[in-house]
Amino acid sequence: MSIPDLLRRHRLVPVVVLDDATAAEPLADALATGGLPVAEVTFRTPAAAESIARMAAHGGVTVGAGTVLTAEQVDIAVGAGARFVVSPGFSPAVVRRCREHGVTALPGAVTATEVMAALAEGVDTLKFFPAGTSGGAPAVAALSAPFGQVSFVPTGGIDATSAADYLALPAVLAVGGSWMVPRAAIRAGEFDRITDLVTASVEAVAH
């Protein structure tokens, strides 16, 4: 299944910050058990690459890399097993390196100019980030009018309640967020709590 199809199917992208790669397997278990076998592991900690490798080896979740800012990080992420690459903004260098590796790039865009720059690089699935402070669901709807071919994954400042506003839009494949995988809960090893949060979030966005 393609990554856009996978995102459309699950409707949620958990944005994960792992401080310790040993949490990767129990977190993968929690996501899979909660019914959300996908994760975006952010390059915000030194544990990111090993965490991606462990989650990819786990086999129960499709793993992507997040907060990818450079082409070198694309190499590291893909080498570790990332199947998709998410960036907060649009970088032609990151998108081109993703294409060379044959992995899906999900760059960020919140303006018409950024969307046009991404389209010029052949990318039509975009992260709308930071969603909450960039106009929210009405802004995504407005951008969708001229860019009917673009799919969005709004992320940033979304929770289980506001997710529904975005998911009601045909242009929205999925929403991303960290609310179901709180960094503090991962640090504390509270994986049963994370499983419950994931389960509740999956139920909240069920079609």
Q: List residues with catalytic annotation.
A: 40, 127
- Residue whose entry in the numeric block shows the structure tokens 């792992």: 18
- DSSP of 141-184, one letter per residue? HHHHTT-TT-EEEEBSS--TTTHHHHHTSTTB--EEESTTS-HH
Nearer to ligand 3PG (CB atom), residue 67 or residue 145: 67
Q: Per CB under 6 A, does 125 bind ligand 3PG?
A: no
Q: Per CB under 6 A, does 157 bind ligand 3PG?
A: yes
Q: Per CB under 6 A, does 156 bind ligand 3PG?
A: yes
- Rounded Cα distance between 142 and 65, Å, is 28
- Rounded Cα distance between 157 and 162, Å, is 9
Burial class (CB in 10 A: 0-12, 13-18, 19+), 174: buried
- Rounded Cα distance between 172 and 23, Å, is 30
Q: How far is the CB of 131 from ligand 3PG (least distance, A)?
A: 8
Nearer to ligand 3PG (CB atom), residue 34 or residue 176: 176
Q: How far is the CB of 86 from ligand 3PG (least distance, A)?
A: 7
Q: Per CB under 6 A, does 205 bind ligand 3PG?
A: no
Please pick, from the candidates 12, 166, 177, 201, the single residue that binds ligand 3PG as defined by CB under 6 A: 177
- Rounded Cα distance between 86 and 52, Å, is 13
Q: Per CB under 6 A, does 178 bind ligand 3PG?
A: yes
Reference 13, options 167, 170, 142, 150; nearest CA is: 167
- The window from 23-31, 145-153, 176-184, 192-200 that contacts ligand 3PG (CB under 6 A) reads 176-184
Window 2-31: residues binding ligand 3PG (CB under 6 A): 15
Nearer to ligand 3PG (CB atom), residue 90 or residue 145: 90
Distances (CA, A) of 30 to 1, 84, 99, 104, 191: 22, 21, 31, 25, 6
Residue 65-104 contact track with ligand 3PG, rule CB under 6 A, x = bound: -xx-------------------------------------
Site residues, ligand 3PG (CB under 6 A): 15, 42, 66-67, 129, 155-158, 176-179
